[in-house]
Structure formats: structure tokens, C-alpha cells
Amino acid sequence: MDAKRNNAKGPQLQEGKATQMEGPDLESVIERAQGHDAEALGEIYRLYVRRVFGLCRYMLDSRESAEDATSEVFLKLQRSIESYDGSIPFPRWLLRVAGNQCIDALRRRKRGQQVIVEAAEEVAVIEAVGSEPSPLSAVLSREERAQVRDAIAHLPENYRLPLVLRYYGELSYDEIAQQLGLQRNYVAALLFRAKQELRRKLGHRSK
């Protein structure tokens, strides 16, 4: 499995970013898509399917579920794109929609229960670890990205979801809190703990 994971190749990163349209081009495509122009919808699909799939893949536990969620997102896009008002960048909006889709899928699996439940002790205290430099940065300079990805993929759901929404989907704390039905503080705490857990995992590995 790890070997497969390493197959994730660099070019996809560039492909994902380099082909992103900016400014007026994108705007006009979105406008046309809002008018149910199939070609424009196709263009959006082509541009963003990889990023959306990536988010889904990180949030859900299998490729199949991620594929399902991705198709759902684009299937619903025909309608949902009407609600896009341009107040935030389109990619971020789309990833927010995708995040919602994944959380819906997770919630369905848990029979309607909340995906992440707040545990009281985690919200409150912010420990004063302040003095130590972050060990992850040291680790990162040595480790492959693949290992980081692998570690993220193996994080428990309550850490993985906020982390992915934040650093892949680039959602704000408020947006993440809203999607997961949590308090903003708790999201901050989860992100912090997720990183600590990552450092622990990667630290173990490098030794």
C-alpha cells in the first residue's frame, strides 16, 4: 500500500495548479455554468475534479467512497452552482461543497450522528508547550512527503477531517466548525492535536 502511495507523482500537483484559470476567464465559465451550459460545467469538472477527488480521498476511507462523493459533488453542481455568489474564490467554495458532501457521507454511515463529537476536556486548556521548537519541522526536512501523506491518511477521523479541510481545502476555522458542527475553539484544538499526533507518528518513523 505504501508503495502505491508513493506512486502519487509530482506532475499532478503542477497539473492541478497550473491549469487553474484565474480572473475573468473563470468568472465567465462560472457564469455560463450557472446558466446550465453543459460545456462550462464540463470545463469546471476538468479543472477541479482532481482537487475535489483529493479532498474526498483524504476525508473518506476508501477510493470507492471518494469516487462516489466526487461524482455527487459534480452531479449536484448543476444546481448548487447557482448559489455561488463570488464572495469567496470559487475553488474554495467548491472544496467547501465537497467537504460538506464528504461529511454527509460520513454522517450517513454513522446513521445521522455527528461525525466528530466534542469531548469536554479537549476544548478548554491550551497547554504551555510554547518553549520547544516544533519537532515536525525538523522531521519534515528529512522525510518524504509521501510519508507525511501516509501519516495523515492514518490519523483518526477526528484529527484527519479538520486537518485536511484546513490544509488541503484551505477552509477557515469557522467554515470547518460549521461543517463539522463543532465550536471554533474545538476546531483549533483538534488541529493542534492533529499536528502533535503527526509529529509523534513521523518522529517514531524516523528513529
Partner 1 sequence: MECYSEQIVSIFVDGELAVEEARRLRDHLATCRRCRQLLDALRAENRVLSESLQELPEEAASPAGSPHLPWSLGWSEVVVVAAVLALGSIVVGWIDKLSIPEALQWLDPSSLNGRTNLIFNLSYYFAHGGTAMLGDYAAVVGKFFLLLLLGGSALLLGRRWRPRQAGLRLLIVLLALSLPGSALQRRHSEFVTVAANETVDDTLLATGNIVRVDGVVNGDLLAFGESVEVRGTVKGDLVSFAKRTVVSGSVEGNIYNFSNSLDLNGQLGHSIYGGMQSLRVNDRGRVGHGILVGAGDVTIEGEVNRDATLYAGNADVSGSIGRELSMAGDSLTLTNTARIGGNLSVRVRDLKKVHIADGATITGTRDIQIRVRQSHFTRPRFYFYRAVWLAAAMLVGWLILILFPGFFQASTHAVGSGWRSLGLGFGVLAGVPVAIILIAITLVGLPVSLILLAFYLVAIYLSMIWVGAYLGRMILKPTTETKGDWLLALLVGLLILTVIRYIPYLGGFVHFVVICLGLGAFAWQLYRALRPAITA
Q: Which is nearer to partner 1, 31 or 67 (CB)?
A: 67
Q: Is 142 in the site for partner 1 (CB under 8 A)?
A: no
Q: Contact 162/184 with Cβ under 8 angstroms?
A: no
Tell me: does residue 1 bind partner 1 (CB under 8 A): yes
Q: In this structure, are residues 201 and 151 in contact, taking their beta carbons and an 8 Å threshold?
A: yes
Residues with Cβ within 8 Å of residue 148, at least 6 apart in sequence: 140, 198, 202
Cβ nearer to partner 1, comparing 62 with 83? 62
In the 8-state DSSP scheme, what is residue 43?
H
Nearest distance from C-beta of residue 174 to partner 1, angstroms: 8
- Per CB under 8 A, contacts with partner 1 among 153-182 are 153-154, 156-158, 163-164, 166-168, 170, 172-173
Q: Is 88 in the site for partner 1 (CB under 8 A)?
A: no
DSSP labels, 79-124: HHGGG--SSS-HHHHHHHHHHHHHHHHHHHHTTT--SSPPPHHHHS
Q: What is the footprint of partner 1 within residues 101-120 (CB under 8 A)?
A: 109
Can residue 70 be called a binding residue for partner 1 (CB under 8 A)?
yes
